[in-house]
Amino acid sequence: MNGKSGPLMKAYRVSGTAPFGSQRQPFSYDVAAKDVEAATEKVYSILGSRHRIMRRKIVIEGTGEIDPRTSTEPAILHQFREEIAAKGGPVSAVAEEE
């Protein structure tokens, strides 16, 4: 055993659209979860509790595993701080072309 209990967590990016106010707007959340289904559930929970959006109004367009070094979400950086440090620190964001 490695001293940790349960399955190892992975970083996922969940994106989609949801009604924020009177318009549907895109969103993207980086979450730590054990699998894709758990990541999707966590995003439903976040949007429901923070914005009072019902699950049936949220459209999840994509969910995928990401390298934790590419995230800017503080919770992800904290959760994977040892892994990020072992790989040489965060990866700088790619500058967008104009």
- What's the pLDDT tens digit per position in 67-80? 999 999 999 999 99
Mean per-residue pLDDT over the chain, rounded? 88
Question: Mean per-residue pLDDT for 15-19?
Answer: 97
**pTM summary value:** 0.81
Instruction: Specify the pLDDT at position 91.
Output: 77
Contact 16, 25 (CB under 8 A): no
Nearest to 68 by CA among 52, 48, 85, 45: 85
Catalogue all structural domains in the chain, each as residue range(s) with its CATH number. 10-86 (3.10.20.10)
Q: Phi, psi at residue 70, to the nearest 5°?
A: -90, -5
Residue type, 22: S
